[in-house]
Structure 1
Amino acid sequence: MKTIRRVLYPFSLLYAAVTGVRNFFYDKGIFKSTAFSLPVIAVGNLSVGGTGKTPQIEYLIRLLSNHNLKLATISRGYKRKTKGMVVATPMHTAADLGDEPFQFYSKFKDLTVIANGNRVEAIQYLLEQPKCPDVVLLDDAMQHRKVKAGFYVMLTAYQDFFYSDLVLPAGNLRESKCGAKRANCIVVTKCPSDLTNIEAERIKNRIKKYAPQIPVYFSAIAYYTYIYNQKDQQLLSDLKADYVLLAGIAKPEPFFKHLKKENTLLLRYPDHHNFTTQDIEDIKQKASGKLIITTEKDYVRLVGKIPQNQLYYLPIQATFLFDESEAFNQQILRYVMPSI
């Protein structure tokens, strides 16, 4: 791996130079960046996938909904089969919207969900509606600089820190590490629940080399104690060990580790995988009638293709460590509602 990185490193320098010039042009106003009158929160990262954006956005949806704010999310809708702007309705599927937007729409009934790579167009559409949202949440928009968000939540995954990585193609960074300075806060995601204060301070000190004035928070993934489908729920502790685990997400290891028993069959697919008819037949054959537990993202792509009584998903939530939720919440709410 080190040899490959050394070979690719010159290309990473070129990639970093190109993205650096692009950011410079946006910073100086040479490239147009549109700001809007309503609060816009962008959730993103510097790296390619797997940092936990979906549970973080869902955390923000719950937080802001609890303050009676009308919300909209805008996502690119990665690997969706439609083009242009799609405003979610009950007629749409995960194939129309993309798995993450469809998941948002399925879970939060008062949420406006839009799939559109052109975030400027999508926000302008929202502003023209009779019931314009109070807050817009942009999914995976750290590098989408055509919109000037009012608040940036940057995520970096534990043990996959941006400060230890390289720019593409030698590493996984979409831009140089100094891009962290654009964030209003940085959340270290997927931390172990027993993370120590000493380790947290060490991580903060590394981050502050690139973003010295930015608040840093630590979060973990909390797994539900039940698995669900459209009609049923089952307590995990009541399940027999003889089930199948299926995941088509960027980094499925924590999901597998949480549920895996001795001899559990693991079915792995690429991130955002579009399950073909042949895939479904292979899954059914390998599962051989056993219960299939998958992630929530995969469930929205598999529901209706596998017998309902056989397919379940395990929900997750982002939860803050060290009693930091109040500080994070207040930072978000002060931006959205400055008068509080």
Structure 2
Amino acid sequence: MKNLFIYCLRRSIGWLFVPFYALAVRVRHLLYDWGIFKSERADRPTLCIGNLTVGGTGKTPHTEFFIKSLSQWYRVGVVSRGYKRQSRGVVVADANTRAEDIGDEPYQIWMKYKEKISGLSVGSRRIEAIRALLVQHPDTEIVILDDAFQHRALEATAYVLLCDYYRPFYRDFMLPAGDLRDLRSRARQADIVIVSKCPADISEREQREIEKQIRRYTGDKPVFFSTYAYGSVKAVWQGSPPCKSEVVLLSGIATPSLFEKAAASCGFKIKEHLAFADHHNYNDHTLQSVLRSLQKHQGASLLTTEKDFAKIKNMPLWQKQLKDSGCYYLPLQVKWLGASPIQPVLQLLQPA
């Protein structure tokens, strides 16, 4: 109740600052529109995947979908900002790269797809990150930009806009009163819109209504709908005992409630959920919280997300303390509710 009060208070006070933030965003876009700030194109076709809001809309799972799909025809490189990494400048991933070097989500992608993609780089200036990637991996044919919708210094070949089903941009408000980091009108930049995190049983009628709302801003751009599908539980470290039916959940993601629903739908009985902020930095203090929870719930296994698994797996102290009792994760992938957007994306990326 206290947290709800603080949240509502912050949002209420936030309205005082919305006009200033919105003005700053508008002026920045105008400076690009008038050519005062310059945009550059990369030497390869680029696919930008992004959103208009802060918080998770599913960019990483959808980036993974496009990696797997486009890799059937092209050598794909990936560029990201590298949010909350501890390094500076441009970093091109290699065999010695750690999560703190490139950020948790790029690290997840690198660990899963380094044999499939040409390479991965991170940098706040995406054009420099692309150039560094191409120097080390000149065989790259297409570059996927993870979270670059607001990065107007780079003009992408094609834009995919993600819209969270539970937090649609057309019902949201600008920061700090709402979660919009960009203007609703910027949705017109999108070539394709994907409504993510939908209920698997969403009706066609509701889909049409959502399309109608989105097209107030995007015109006749195609709209697709996706949900999440979860695979069988996997152990973080080899040699772990089988996962128990009772679990303590551990997550550092934008929407922890979705992880709870996923675990329950897989038949797990949730004893406690240690839910930390998105991109949480796991450390010894976090480990002590986990150990206390497992001590409290004797016989329960620790279950985490695929995103958090990527950070935990290479932490020696965590492995030492948790390997015998077991630590597990739920693999996640995008599932399309209807047609997939891959064919329109392929057409957009074709040379003119």
Is 1:101 the counterpart of 2:106? The answer is yes
| 2-structure distance, mates of 1:199, 1:233 | 44
- CA contact under 8 A between 1:43 and 1:53: conserved in structure 2? yes
In 2, the alpha carbon distance for the partners of 1:19 and 1:338 equals 32
Work out the CA distance in 1 between the residues paired with 2:333 and 2:270.
27
**Conserved 8 A contact 2:174-2:181:** yes
Structure 1 residues 140-177: Cα deviation after superposition (integer angstroms, max 9, x where no partner): 11101111011111101112100000000010001110
Match of 1:123 in 2: 130
**Offset at 1:338?**
5.0
Paired residue for 2:3?
none
Deviation at 1:256, TM superposition (A): 0.9
Q: Is 1:18 matched up with 2:34?
A: no
* Equivalent of residue 329 in structure 1, options 342, 345, 349: 342
| TM value normalised by structure 1 | 0.92
Residue 313 of structure 1 aligns with which residue? 329
1:130-209 pair list within 5 angstroms: 131-209=138-216
Deviations 1:262-286 (A, max 9, x none): 4522111111011121211221232
> How large is the Cα RMSD of the aligned pairs?
2.0
Cα shift readout 1:188-224 (whole Å, capped 9, x = no counterpart): 0000111111000000111111111221111001111
Unaligned runs of 5+ in 2: 1-6
Out of 288, 294, 305, which is 1:295 matched to? Answer: 305
For residues 209-220 of structure 1, the aligned pairs below 5 Å read 209-220=216-227
Distance in 2 (CA, whole Å) between partners of 1:6 and 1:94 is 36
Unaligned ranges ≥5, structure 1:
none
Which moved further from structure 2: 49-58 or 284-293? 284-293
Matched position secondary structure for 1:171 = coil
Please tell me the residue identity of whatever aligns with 1:145. Answer: R
Paired position in structure 2 for 1:28: 34
Contact 2:162 2:196 in 1 (8 A): yes
1:14, distance to aligned residue in structure 2 (A):
1.8
Name 2:90's counterpart in structure 1.
Answer: 85
- How much has 1:337 moved relative to structure 2? 3.4
Maintained 8 Å contact 1:157/1:189: yes
Residue 222 of structure 2 corresponds to residue 254 of structure 1: no
> Matches of 2:130 and 2:218 in 1, distance apart?
29
- The count of corresponding residues between Structure 1 and Structure 2 is 332
Alpha-carbon distance, 1:335 to partner: 2.1
CA drift at 1:2? 6.6
TM value normalised by structure 2: 0.89
* 1:278 counterpart (252, 262, 285): 285
- Show the counterpart of 1:226: 233
Decide whether the 8 Å contact of 2:86 with 2:101 is kept in 1: yes
Partner of 2:216, secondary structure, is coil
CA contact (8 A) 1:227 1:233 kept: no
Q: The residue matched to 2:21 in structure 1 has which SS?
A: helix
* Paired amino acid for 1:11: F
Q: What's the counterpart of residue 40 of structure 1?
A: 46
- The amino acid that maps onto 1:187 is I
2:249 is equivalent to residue 245 of structure 1: yes
Distance 1:121-1:224 versus aligned 2 partners, 3 A rule: same
- Per-residue CA deviation, residues 298-325 of structure 1 (Å, 9 max, x unaligned), is 1122123233451111111111112x11
CA–CA separation in structure 2 for the residues paired with 1:162 and 1:114 = 29
Q: Structure 1 residues 297 and 93 mapped into 2: Cα distance closer, same or farther (>3 Å)?
A: same
Give the secondary structure class of the aligned counterpart of 2:160. Answer: strand
Deviations 1:235-294 (A, max 9, x none): xxx853222111110111111112144452211111101112121122123223742110
Does the 8 Å contact 1:126/1:132 carry over to 2? Answer: no
Deviation at 1:36, TM superposition (A): 2.0
Task: Classify the secondary structure of the residue corresponding to 2:176.
Answer: coil
Deviations 1:40-80 (A, max 9, x none): 1111100002100010000000001122x111111111111
The residue type equivalent to 1:330 in the other structure is: Q
Task: Report the Cα distance in structure 2 between the residues aligned to 1:277 and 1:133, rounded to whole angstroms.
Answer: 39
Q: Does the CA-based 8 Å contact 1:85-1:116 persist in structure 2?
A: yes
**Distance (Å, rounded) in 2 between the aligned partners of 1:224 and 1:52:** 17
Per-residue deviation, 1:5: 4.2
Distance, in Å, in 2 between the alignment partners of 1:121 and 1:274 is 27
Alpha-carbon separation, structure 2, partners of 1:224 and 1:197: 26
- Aligned partners of 2:323 and 2:347: how far apart in 1? 44
